[in-house]
């Protein structure tokens, strides 16, 4: 019995010395005696505090702070030009323009509002340029815009947005029937609704696809007819803009 006890004691001393001799770097930092603690979820390339949805997908807005986005845009414009020469002249025929394609783009500076799904942007863009040539006249329209936008990001990458701001409309009328070339710049109210989808390419870069339905208040412009006492008034009606854009977002 004494010999069995002595053998067990010697074995215990041997194992204890062997364990103590193992270098500390063999053990992981979170090692505890008797096992390992339950590890916290880790998402590769994402901050530890990233918001995780109920379906275990990480929201695309994992960065708190500011970002810069640039978009290339294709817009389809809809509006009507209504012409008038005065009360003693019969009503002139109007020109209706439907889904006229124009190319533009925009840049925006945005910020994520903490850990929430909301973010905001200040956007400046060029909607596009349109020109219509008739027999003896030429009409052109170009639009710039400045918008303040608010977005809500869903865990799937889909987002919804609303914006308000101003459109800067430049119109020109010229031709052989007019005394000169007439140009006018007008600042008008503008608003929009946005639907988009984002895809994170890496820790800093995000692909941004967006559809925007925007409404731009119209304007009017006068042009004197050559060798005539009449003045043509061109009333540009409400402009509806359907735009599709692809952009890249850089998150600081």
117, 90 in Cβ contact below 8 A? no
11 assigned to some structural domain: no
14: in domain: no
What is the CATH number for 244? 2.40.160.20
Residue pLDDT, tens place only, 31-46: 444 444 444 444 434 4
CB distance 79 to 167 below 8 Å: no
Length of the chain: 252
Burial of 224 per CB tally in 10 Å (0-12, 13-18, 19+): middle
Kindly indicate the confidence band of residue 162, based on its pLDDT and cuts at 50, 70 and 90. Answer: very high
- Confirm if 168 and 209 have CB atoms less than 8 A apart: no
Tell me, yes or no, whether 7 lies in a domain: no
- Enclosing domain of residue 241: 66-251
What share of the chain has pLDDT > 70, as a percent? 75
pLDDT, one tens digit per residue, over 88-118 is 777 777 999 999 999 999 999 999 998 889 9
Cα–Cα–Cα angle for 237, 238, 241, nearest 5°? 130
Convert the pLDDT of each residue in 198-249 to its tens digit: 999 999 999 999 999 999 999 999 999 988 888 999 999 999 999 999 999 9
Provide the 10 A C-beta neighbour count for residue 12: 10
Question: How many structural domains compose the chain?
Answer: 1
pTM: 0.73
């Amino acid at each position: 019995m004494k010999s069995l006890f002595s053998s067990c004691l010697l074995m215990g001393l041997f194992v204890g010395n062997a364990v103590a001799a193992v270098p500390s770097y063999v053990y992981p930092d979170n090692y505890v005696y008797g096992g390992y603690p339950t590890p916290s979820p880790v998402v590769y390339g994402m901050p530890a505090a990233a918001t995780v949805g109920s379906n275990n997908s990480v929201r695309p807005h994992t960065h708190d702070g500011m970002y810069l986005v640039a978009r290339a845009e294709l817009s389809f414009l809809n509006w009507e030009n209504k012409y008038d020469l005065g009360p003693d002249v019969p009503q002139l025929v109007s020109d209706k323009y439907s889904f006229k394609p124009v190319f533009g783009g925009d840049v925006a500076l945005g910020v994520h509002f903490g850990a929430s799904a909301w973010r905001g942007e200040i956007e400046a863009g060029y909607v596009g340029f349109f020109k219509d040539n008739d027999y003896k006249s030429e009409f052109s329209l170009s639009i710039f815009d400045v918008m303040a936008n608010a977005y809500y990001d869903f865990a799937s990458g889909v987002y919804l947005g609303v914006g308000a701001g101003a459109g800067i409309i430049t119109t020109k009328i010229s031709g052989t029937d007019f005394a000169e070339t007439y140009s006018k710049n007008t600042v008008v109210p503008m608003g929009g609704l946005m639907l988009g989808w984002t895809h994170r390419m890496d820790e800093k870069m995000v692909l941004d696809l967006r559809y925007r339905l925007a409404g731009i208040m119209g304007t009017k412009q006068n042009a004197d007819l050559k060798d005539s006492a009449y003045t043509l008034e061109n009333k540009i009606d409400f402009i509806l803009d359907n735009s599709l854009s692809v952009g890249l977002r850089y998150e600081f």
